[in-house]
Amino acid sequence: MEDKVLSPEKAEEAKLKARYPHLGQKPGGSDFLRKRLQKGQKYFDSGDYNMAKAKMKNKQLPTAAPDKTEVTGDHIPTPQDLPQRKPSLVASKLAG
């Protein structure tokens, strides 16, 4: 007879798989790790950007979907995708 009692961890796993059926089998595998290694990567090519703008003339360039964190495929990075210049550094409040 099968043991029907699930450990809390396995119950949580079932919950996750129900919400995200396409989630990969190996979370600790290369996709997850490679994303970790890619932290900080930003893309912008002024040549691509200006040529695309010229081609589209007055139309809007396709922008990335809001939930996309990586820039790939049809989306040509715009200056809006670049990290904004950080505000001037001030003294730490711990020293105040």
Partner 1 sequence: VARAGGDGGGNNEVQWCFLQVKGAIDEDVAEADIISTVEFNYTGDLLATGDKGGRVVIFQREQETKSRPLCRGEYNVYSTFQSHEPEFDYLKSLEIEEKINKIRWLPQQNAAHFLLSTNDKTIKLWKISERDKRAEGYNLKDEDGRLREPFRVTELRVPTLKPMDLMVEASPRRTFANAHTYHINSISVNSDYATYLSADDLRINLWHLEVTNRSFNIVDIKPANMEELTEVITAAEFHPHHCNVFVYSSSKGTIRLCDMRSAALCDQHSKFFEEPEDPSSRSFFSEIISSISDVKFSHSGRYMMTRDYLSVKVWDLNMENKPVETYQVHEYLRSKLCSLYENDCIFDKFECCWNGSDSTIMTGSYNNFFRTFERGSRRDATLEASRESSKPRAVLKPRKVCTSGKRKKDEITVDSLDFNKKILHTAWHPMENIIAVAATNNLYLFQEKVN
State the residues that interact with partner 1 by CB under 8 A. 7-13, 15-17, 19, 23, 27-30, 33-34, 36-37, 39-44, 83, 86, 89, 91-96
What is the smallest separation between the CB atom of 54 and partner 1, expressed in angstroms? 23
Q: Which is nearer to partner 1, 32 or 56 (CB)?
A: 32
What is the smallest separation between the CB atom of 86 and partner 1, expressed in angstroms? 5
The token duo for 77 is 């990075």
What is the smallest separation between the CB atom of 59 and partner 1, expressed in angstroms? 26
What is the smallest separation between the CB atom of 16 and partner 1, expressed in angstroms? 5
Q: Which is nearer to partner 1, 16 or 51 (CB)?
A: 16
The token duo for 44 is 């912008």
Residue count of the chain, please give it.
Answer: 96
Q: Which is nearer to partner 1, 58 or 87 (CB)?
A: 87
**Residue-wise burial string across 13-23, b where 16 or more C-beta atoms lie within 10 A, e elsewhere:** eeeeeeeeeee
The token duo for 10 is 């396995």
CA distances from 46 to 42, 64, 69, 77, 78 (A): 13, 17, 20, 9, 8
